[in-house]
């Protein structure tokens, strides 16, 4: 029997603060969709790993971040276009909502300010400050446990040695279908309609961290390719996710779904999520499918014999 893992990139405005033209609909949807997602997870008793960017734990900041080696240009949106938008920068009430939810969620780290850890420009001191600032921000919040899981912004894996240095134990790696992105609409459609999203095998990497690779982004098929698919076959993402859940029901691997609250823009998006969560809950009830957080998966992998070690 395999396992389903659901991880959430929780970032509000921070996921888009470095863009010259942030997608307004996604930016503005974040807070409402966050609560919708929590409500649906409670309805189906599905625990998730919420990977949160650091400022969301806070209620204010000096907007200077003078200690940060990335330089103050990186934080320009806090001083400029979002200077009067604390709702896009801070979210202690939304963090609290995770901790008091019925489902037993994990709170993890999505770095402090959504820095691309895999980029050449991200030096070790920058990565270290991103993690330390996140840990400090989280410590100011009444969390059920210290953060142990990391989701890299843009799924761009890097500086894993620094993760280990600061006590993190797991991260979401890139799955077989994760990178590179499909290079054409046809390939995108093929992945969504034909291929079963992969079951992944978490393993301990050379830094002692458990990599829990992603299987599928629940909102990865969008734009014109998505519209073509839906006209022809209904919602192919739901069908693909259900194939992945079925695979986890009969196999031994992990089906790792991920999404952002900012992905939930329409009733259609919410309905997709509801359908997939209902399917997970039904499979769990009928077949004993495991539904676990990244932390729980990592704990189990670390307690296994050393055969799960890969480099």
Binding site for Zn ion (CB under 5 A): 9, 11, 15, 153
> Phi first, then psi: what are they for 110, rounded to 5°?
-115, 35
Q: Least CB distance from residue 201 to Zn ion, whole Å?
A: 24
The Cα–Cα gap between 174 and 176 comes to: 7
> Phi first, then psi: what are they for 178, rounded to 5°?
-80, -40
Q: Least CB distance from residue 161 to Zn ion, whole Å?
A: 22
Q: Which is nearer to Zn ion, 77 or 249 (CB)?
A: 77
Q: Which is nearer to Zn ion, 153 or 202 (CB)?
A: 153
For the four alpha carbons of 33, 235, 283 and 152, in that order, the dihedral sign comes to: negative
**At CA 245, angle to CA 307 and CA 194, rounded to 5?**
105
Q: Which is nearer to Zn ion, 3 or 111 (CB)?
A: 111
Question: How many residues make up the chain in this entry?
Answer: 311
Residues whose CB falls within 8 Å of the CB of residue 307, separated by 6 or more in sequence, listed in order: none
Q: Least CB distance from residue 53 to Zn ion, whole Å?
A: 7
- Judge contact between 262 and 26, C-beta under 8 A: yes
Q: Which is nearer to Zn ion, 107 or 204 (CB)?
A: 107
Here the tokens at position 260 are 């952002």
> Phi first, then psi: what are they for 151, rounded to 5°?
-115, 120
Q: Which is nearer to Zn ion, 94 or 289 (CB)?
A: 94
Q: Which is nearer to Zn ion, 16 or 279 (CB)?
A: 16
Q: Least CB distance from residue 84 to Zn ion, whole Å?
A: 23
Residues whose CB falls within 8 Å of the CB of residue 214, separated by 6 or more in sequence, listed in order: 7, 155, 172, 173, 174, 175, 178, 200, 256, 258
Check whether the bond before 206 is cis (ω within 30° of 0).
no
- Judge contact between 12 and 56, C-beta under 8 A: yes
Query: What's the Rg (C-alpha) of the chain?
Result: 19
* Helix or strand run (H / E) with residue 222: none
Q: Least CB distance from residue 50 to Zn ion, whole Å?
A: 12
Q: Least CB distance from residue 144 to Zn ion, whole Å?
A: 23
Q: Which is nearer to Zn ion, 7 or 170 (CB)?
A: 7
- Judge contact between 193 and 229, C-beta under 8 A: yes
Q: Least CB distance from residue 10 to Zn ion, whole Å?
A: 8
Q: Least CB distance from residue 248 to Zn ion, whole Å?
A: 25
| CA-closest candidate to residue 111, choices 121, 97, 126 | 126
Q: Which is nearer to Zn ion, 153 or 213 (CB)?
A: 153
Q: Least CB distance from residue 110 to Zn ion, whole Å?
A: 6
Q: Which is nearer to Zn ion, 2 or 153 (CB)?
A: 153
């Amino acid at each position: 029997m395999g396992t389903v893992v659901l991880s959430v990139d929780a970032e509000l405005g921070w996921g888009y603060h470095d863009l010259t033209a942030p997608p307004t609909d996604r930016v503005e949807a974040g807070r409402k969709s966050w609560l919708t997602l929590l409500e649906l997870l409670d309805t189906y008793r599905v625990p998730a790993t919420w990977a949160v960017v650091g400022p969301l734990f806070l209620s204010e900041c000096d907007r200077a971040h003078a200690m940060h080696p990335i330089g103050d240009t990186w934080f320009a949106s806090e001083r400029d276009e979002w200077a009067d938008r604390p709702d896009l920068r801070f979210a202690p009430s939304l963090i609290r909502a995770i901790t008091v939810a019925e489902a037993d969620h994990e709170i993890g780290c999505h770095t402090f300010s959504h820095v691309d850890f895999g980029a050449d420009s991200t030096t070790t001191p920058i990565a270290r400050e991103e993690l330390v600032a996140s840990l400090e921000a989280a410590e100011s919040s009444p969390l059920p446990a210290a953060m142990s899981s990391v989701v890299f912004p843009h799924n761009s894996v890097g500086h894993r040695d620094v993760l280990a240095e600061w006590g993190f134990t797991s991260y979401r790696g890139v799955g077989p279908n994760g990178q590179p992105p499909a290079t054409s609409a046809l390939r995108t459609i093929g992945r969504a309609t034909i291929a079963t999203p992969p079951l992944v095998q978490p393993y301990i990497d050379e830094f002692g961290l458990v990599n829990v690779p992603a299987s599928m982004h629940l909102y990865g098929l969008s734009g014109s390719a998505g519209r073509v698919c839906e006209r022809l076959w209904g919602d192919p993402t739901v069908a693909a996710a259900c194939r992945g859940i079925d695979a986890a029901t009969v196999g031994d691997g992990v089906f790792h779904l991920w999404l952002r609250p900012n992905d939930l823009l329409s009733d259609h998006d919410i309905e997709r999520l509801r359908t997939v969560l209902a399917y997970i809950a039904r499979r769990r009830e009928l077949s004993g499918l495991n539904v676990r957080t990244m932390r729980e998966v990592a704990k189990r992998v670390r307690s296994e014999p050393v055969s799960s070690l890969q480099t």
